Structure 1
């Protein structure tokens, strides 16, 4: 927590105007919807549960640009939201586990994307090998963990004991 306090007092925090916080959160959530939607499609293809009639390279060429765009929006808006109030955001119980799950999911994607590692050079349509299916299953589990961590952070933020001066607790339903 000390490093979060240091970060908050340094020049790093983003001078985000309060009225921009809501639209930035909307961008973050919208980016997550795009990113996770594309990831689920790709992972279901890896598992052989969707798109089996399309060769993986062609499927990936269609889905990966959407995935990259969604991740770019999520990463950028997430960094800005974090830097806006690092003590509040970084102090959530599920913030670090969420980041670790993101890192693990990205590592899974990097390891999987090395073609010689899983034999993707000549893949056509139909079922994929065990490495591809395992990468897809692990990806689904890790990204589901990221979503679960984000939800836990949100619920914790709603708790009166975690409300800071910047972010009043939501009212209503």
Structure 2
């Protein structure tokens, strides 16, 4: 698998992304992030906490949908509680991620692992939208005693796996040679 990512990185070096990364490095945002001692650490903390929040909310909802977490709240109540947390977490992940990208654009833009994470994140967003629509549609139609069908249950676990891929990709970025 290492050869695959190495070849992908080599290919990325020969695309417009390298020039774009050099352009990003000259912007004001990049200078502020690099010159401000607290810029990168604060963006990283915001990024990590947002990931923890989004993954935690997803996991709570998934466990409740799959009858693995008890409680007195119905699935519609649990989904109404956690879905906004997931979306706000994704907003903060995007903002902090862009800030971190501008801090080290060359290192990230030609990094195959970074693009693996971005593809995983795009899939996560798409599947989360599908998941959310399925939960809301069934929850409103089924009332308080609603139980998820097999598709919604499976989709919930796919969302959890995608979150894990995003987290693994994020950690892996630091160790990928560029």
Q: Same fold (TM over 0.5)?
A: yes
Judging changes above 3 Å, is the alpha-carbon distance between structure 1 residues 69 and 118 closer, same or farther for their aligned structure 2 residues?
A: closer
Q: State the distance in 2 between where 1:155 and 1:54 align.
A: 42
Q: Among residues 48, 54, 64, which one is paired with 2:73 in the alignment?
A: 54
Residue 67 of structure 1 corresponds to 86
- TM-score, normalised relative to structure 1: 0.78
Matches within 5 A, 1:82-93: 82-93=101-112
Judging changes above 3 Å, is the alpha-carbon distance between structure 1 residues 37 and 117 closer, same or farther for their aligned structure 2 residues?
A: closer
1:17-56 deviation line (CA, Å, top 9, x unaligned): 3411111111111111111111111122222212464222
Q: Among residues 20, 39, 46, which one is paired with 1:27 in the alignment?
A: 46
Q: State the distance in 1 between where 2:136 and 2:89 align.
A: 26
Residue 156 of structure 2 corresponds to 136
- Is this contact kept in 1: 2:57–2:83, CA < 8 A? yes
Q: Secondary structure at the match of 2:148?
A: coil
Task: Compare the two structures and name the one with the higher helix fraction.
Answer: 2
Q: How many residues align?
A: 158
1:8 Cα deviation after fit: 2.6
The answer to whether residue 170 in structure 2 is matched with residue 150 in structure 1 is yes
- TM-score, normalised relative to structure 2: 0.76
Q: State the distance in 2 between where 1:52 and 1:139 align.
A: 22
- Is this contact kept in 1: 2:21–2:109, CA < 8 A? no
The answer to whether residue 115 in structure 2 is matched with residue 102 in structure 1 is no
Runs of 4+ in 1 over 6 A off after TM superposition: none
In structure 1, runs of 5+ residues without a counterpart are 163-173
